[in-house]
Amino acid sequence: MSPDPRAPAPRAPGGTTPKIRIRGLKKAFGSNVVLDGVDLEIAPGESLVVIGGSGTGKSVLLKCILGLLTPEAGSIQVDGEETVGLSEREMDRVRRKFGMLFQSAALFDSLPVWENVAFGLIQAKEMKRAEARKLADRRLADVGLEPRVGELYPAELSGGMRKRVGLARAIATSPEIIFFDEPTTGLDPIMGHIIDKLIVKLTSKLGATGLSITHDMASARRISTRMAMLYKGRIVWNGPTAEIDRSGNPYVEQFIHGTDEGPIDIPLQDHFA
């Protein structure tokens, strides 16, 4: 008999419940089957990066975990609690455990930087504005920005500063789990490196669990303790970052070397030979 995907999370050898546990996750849009039975587990304090080519479903996976998309089948547990099928209100409670750095930093252009950082504190935690301002300034300092930057508007910031502000906002509520969506996209290699270092430092300072999606391998190596590769709707390899170069998995090898020769199907329109 196959195991019930909705069964309570098994205890890992150390006795800890996985922070996130995904079993048999399926998501399709019409005939486009994007996730076709994803199994994945993230232990507390771990930093997992999901790698995979464009359009393999990394963002869809993240959106399913955040409860922004409803899967057709499968289970997603957060701290052992099943979240598939929760009401919007119950899901809001679970979402309070999450912080998120979006690809575009997704700042509110009409709000000054400090209010962007303090948004979750004022809205979700109902913190008084003066107190939230002080905390926002501390978070800005954490990401290397002076308090005066708090008075600026997002349009006045460079791409690197926007990412820092996005990171300050992602950690403002001291979340237990932080999602990083393509954290280095659009940054020069040096700024990308700086953001990666901040991600590692701040996630560890909070004792948070990290889940990132990226196709930037240099960044993935820097920020992860473990990597999982998504291909054709499934996790085809999952292991410690230190072992990625000797995975012995042909999909991983092709992906990390960035060659067009190997088992990975490349959509026809991407070939212009």
Ligand X SMILES: Nc1ncnc2c1ncn2[C@@H]1O[C@H](COP(=O)(O)OP(=O)(O)OP(=O)(O)O)[C@@H](O)[C@H]1O
> Would you tell me which residues interact with ligand X (CB under 6 A)?
29, 32, 34, 52, 54-60, 215
Nearer of residues 157 and 195 to ligand X, judged by Cβ: 195
Q: What is the DSSP letter of 155?
A: G
Q: Closer CB to ligand X, residue 137 or residue 181? A: 181
d(CA 140, CA 122): 16
Q: What residue spans of 143-249 are helical by DSSP H?
A: 159-171, 189-206, 217-223
Residues 6+ apart with CB under 8 A from 157: 113, 149, 165
The pairing of beta strand 226-231 with beta strand 47-51 = parallel
We find the least distance from the C-beta atom of residue 215 to ligand X, in angstroms, to be: 5
Q: Is the Cβ of residue 69 or residue 152 nearer to ligand X in the bound state?
A: 69
CB of 211 to ligand X, least distance (A): 13
Q: In what order do the strands lie in the sheet with 226-231?
A: 98-101, 177-181, 209-214, 47-51, 226-231, 234-240
Output the smallest distance, CB 182 to ligand X, in A. Answer: 7
* Residue with smaller CB distance to ligand X, 248 or 267: 267
CB of 245 to ligand X, least distance (A): 22
Smallest distance from ligand X to CB 29, Å: 4
**Closer CB to ligand X, residue 132 or residue 227?**
227
Kindly state the tokens that stand for 149. Answer: 């930057």
118: tokens are: 């303090």
